[in-house]
Amino acid sequence: TLFTDKELLPFSLSDLADQLGSSIPTTFKRQSPFLTHPVFHDYHSEHELLRYMYLLQSKDLSLVHSMIPLGSCTMKLNATAEMVPVTWPEFSRLHPFAPSNQAQGYQSLFQQLEAWLAEITGFEAVSLQPNAGSQGEYAGLMVIRAYQEERGQEQRNICLIPVSAHGTNPASAVIAGLKVVPVACDNHGNIDLHDLEAKSAQYHDTLACLMVTYPSTHGVFEESIRKVCEIVHAHEGQVYLDGANMNAMVGLVRPGAIGADVCHLNLHKTFCIPHGGGGPGMGPIAVAPHLAPFLPGHPLGQVGGSKGIGPIAAAPYGSPNILPISWVFIKLMGSEGLTKATQVAILNANYMASRLIKYYPVLFTGKNGMAAHEFILDLRPFKKSAEVEVEDVAKRLMDFGFHAPTISWPVPGTLMIEPTESESKVELDRYCDALILIRQEIAEIEEGHLPRDNNPLKHAPHTIEVIAQSEWPHPYTRETAAFPAPWLRQHKFWPSVSRIDNVYGDRNLVCTCPPMESYPS
């Protein structure tokens, strides 16, 4: 009894289990076995479980290893100082439907963040409710529909979407009950004003809105964006600006100042909430004064406008626990810091483009030959010259310890690179050097020094198991395969698996869980 209380507890766990069991209706009692997967039975100590978890973690390449320049994803630094408040119980343990008088701190945070985002965008009001960029799109479109209905224009159900728009736009428009009409782009990736004018006139009586991404998904600041907005407004449509590329705008240009009526912001991109692995996201919308009355409301919270649409998320403020991240980011940066970050993001993208254009064609630029915060490399010529696909380059980058950029979007056979403001020149140069070395390997294939079907690109990535095999059936060395750049001698992130058949995987579900027969019918 030295380390325990002398008096026993007045109940036993078995008694509690019996009482709990009797309170559950028979129809709800589990009849089937549970936790049957072997992983739940292989680790019987905390040490073993901890090592297993870190083994899984070691297979994941993340921003702690190298830059992840996924175009249109804005994989920037998620600073520790921004993340710490999420762990504070004052934020993390509060129920989303707690009475407002018990959540004054949160209320203050909401109000400040809404005011800051309104200032950044140049709009009148903000709703923090949407839980993702796609939800923001849906919310913004529903606000537009409510506005059109309020003014007796229920028939307005046409949504014009340029082919350069962000990929989720058509899906959001359809879910919002709108009919999508595409608008052409010219050879430079800009909206074709003649086609926009023609489509706007054709649907003059039914035009609800235009969805436009600025800068465009082609990585270009469209000089005609004000004219685009004027054309749509002339036909009584509204302009929805997709804020996916807001990292190229903050502190430099406001969506409200160029003619947009509503936009969404990806807090999980531009404002530093982590989003690797699929979430969580937040996509608040900012609106002009005439749309403010229609912002989404909620039955359990006093949010939204006086004529607000219904809730589009479970909680009045979406996912409030992660809002402190963006609050801290904006507070730490200040107006000058936010502007500087945008400038550096654009500078970094153009620095990389200026180095790589000697080796790969840059697909779209503005009239001054510059890109916005991201740029697109055209790899399509290599399919004919060396039978090298964009996927081969993406896989080969894994041998250099890098995550590939966005591939084959918005243009098939291309790489879209967005370095963000967070990366140093050293890291930018490492990534450029990797792509330049890969281009040299492609040249060796083009010149016949390497076979088209047996070269470092076609067999990438090279795992440690492949490198350690006694037989080496390739015309290039193991060193070329696994250590193609000098920095890899200091630290090497080894891919866990070699080349997989992506197309087969996309078309066929191969489950590694227990067989389907083990599940109840």
Residue 11 tokens, joined: 């109940």
CA dist 298 and 303 (Å) reads 6
CATH classification at residue 186:
3.40.640.10
Write down the residue that tokens 């964009």 correspond to: 390
Question: Is-contact 317 304, C-beta < 8 A?
Answer: no
Residue 39 tokens, joined: 């992983």
Which pLDDT does position 188 carry in this prediction?
Answer: 83
Q: Is residue 56 part of a domain?
A: no
Q: Does 518 have pLDDT greater than 80?
A: no
CATH classification at residue 344:
3.90.1150.10
Please report which residue ranges of 162-267 form alpha helices under DSSP H: 169-175, 193-202, 225-234
Q: Which residues of 293-303 are buried (b: 16+ CB within 10 A; e: fewer)?
A: bbbbbbeeeeb
pLDDT digit string, tens, across residues 444-503: 999 999 999 999 999 999 999 999 999 999 999 999 999 999 999 999 999 999 998 888
pLDDT digit string, tens, across residues 295-305: 999 998 889 99
Q: Is residue 421 part of a domain?
A: yes
Do 338 and 309 lie in one domain? The reply is no
CA dist 19 and 219 (Å) reads 63
Of 295, 294, 299, 262, give the one whose Cα is nearest residue 149: 294
Do 378 and 231 lie in one domain? The reply is no
pLDDT digit string, tens, across residues 162-214: 998 887 999 999 999 999 999 999 988 899 999 999 999 999 999 999 999 99
pLDDT digit string, tens, across residues 253-300: 999 999 999 999 999 999 999 987 666 889 999 999 999 999 999 998
Do 350 and 448 lie in one domain? The reply is yes
Q: Does 516 have pLDDT greater than 70?
A: no
In which domain, by residue range, is 184 found?
Answer: 94-318
Report the DSSP pairing between strands 285-287 and 125-127.
antiparallel
1 — pLDDT class (breaks 50, 70, 90): very low
CA dist 380 and 368 (Å) reads 24
Do 204 and 276 lie in one domain? The reply is yes
pLDDT, average across residues 73-97: 94
Task: Please state the length of the chain.
Answer: 521
Q: Is residue 154 part of a domain?
A: yes
pTM of the predicted structure, to 2 decimals: 0.92
521 — pLDDT class (breaks 50, 70, 90): low
Do 162 and 299 lie in one domain? The reply is yes
Of 479, 469, 472, 442, give the one whose Cα is nearest residue 458: 442
3-state secondary structure of 300: coil
Which pLDDT does position 189 carry in this prediction?
Answer: 84
Q: Is residue 18 part of a domain?
A: no
Q: Does 418 have pLDDT greater than 90?
A: yes
- State CA 270 to chain mean position distance: 10
Structural domains counted in the chain:
2
Do 115 and 141 lie in one domain? The reply is yes
3-state secondary structure of 263: strand
Q: Does 12 have pLDDT greater than 70?
A: yes
Do 309 and 445 lie in one domain? The reply is no
Q: Does 395 have pLDDT greater than 60?
A: yes
Which pLDDT does position 519 carry in this prediction?
Answer: 58
Do 243 and 274 lie in one domain? The reply is yes
Do 362 and 305 lie in one domain? The reply is no
User: What secondary structure, in 3-state letters, does 116-136 show?
Assistant: HHHHHHCCCEEECCCCCHHHH
Q: What residues contact 153, with CB distance under 8 A and at least 6 apart?
A: 236
Q: Does 440 have pLDDT greater than 90?
A: yes
37 — pLDDT class (breaks 50, 70, 90): confident
Contacts 24+ apart (CB under 8 A), 107-113: 109/320, 109/323, 109/324, 109/327, 110/317, 110/320, 110/323, 112/327, 113/323, 113/326, 113/327, 113/330
Do 443 and 380 lie in one domain? The reply is yes
- Percent residues over pLDDT 70 in the chain: 96
21 — pLDDT class (breaks 50, 70, 90): low
Do 311 and 338 lie in one domain? The reply is no
Do 314 and 359 lie in one domain? The reply is no
Mean pLDDT of the chain: 94
